[in-house]
Amino acid sequence: MRKKSRFYPKYRFFNAFTLIELLVVLAILSILFFIVTPRFISSSNPEKTKNFILKLQNSLVYLNDKSILEKKVYLFTLDIDERRYYFVISEEGNPEGTVRDRYLTPVQFPAHLTVKSVKVIPGDEVIEGKVMLPFTPNGMLFSFEIIFQEKEDLLFIVRGNHLINSIDVVRKIEEEERALY
């Protein structure tokens, strides 16, 4: 009579997953991770908003200096409905007004940022359509205030003062205003 060895049974039954099954599950989970993660990051990224606002401020300061140095008239156009801003030049031989400058390119607003209003001084408040602000050889022609809203209680305000030719940015939380940087 043969004895069964307790170390090497005749029939082995393992209740485990194979390597292929584990790799397939891991691949599916990694694909889902790469699809879902960017949506959460882009919707709650405060740095994206800050970078957009600072780029707008830098572009306007550059445009103001460029119009003074080149003695040309440039128009800053804020299209609230299409959620973008761009620049136009007023000169002979350029009927489309195309600005050929790598620092003055059209920019789309981030998806989570909206324009609450634009105030042109002297003038009125605009909440839809296009707003065109002229920058002349003497500097800004009008003072302005562009109010961007990110959340219900968080506003970013870009202010241009034509009297002293300055463009400032503030962040407003509830009723408190702070410099952005």
Assign residue 53 the CATH number of its domain: 3.55.40.10
User: What's the gap between Cα 153 and its chain centre?
Assistant: 18
- List pLDDT tens digits, range 119-171: 998 877 777 888 889 999 998 888 999 998 887 778 888 999 888 888 888 88
C-alpha R_g of the chain? 29
pTM of the model: 0.70
- List pLDDT tens digits, range 81-133: 898 999 988 777 677 778 888 888 888 988 888 888 899 988 777 778 888 89
Tokens read off for 156: 């970013």
Look at the block and give the residue holding tokens 């981030």: 110
Q: Report the number of distinct structural domains present in the chain.
A: 1
Specify if 157 maps to a domain: yes
Specify if 21 maps to a domain: no
Question: Which tops the pLDDT comparison, 11 or 17?
Answer: 17
| Residue whose C-alpha is closest to residue 77's, from 95, 101, 59 | 59
Angstrom distance (rounded) from CA 167 to CA 146: 11
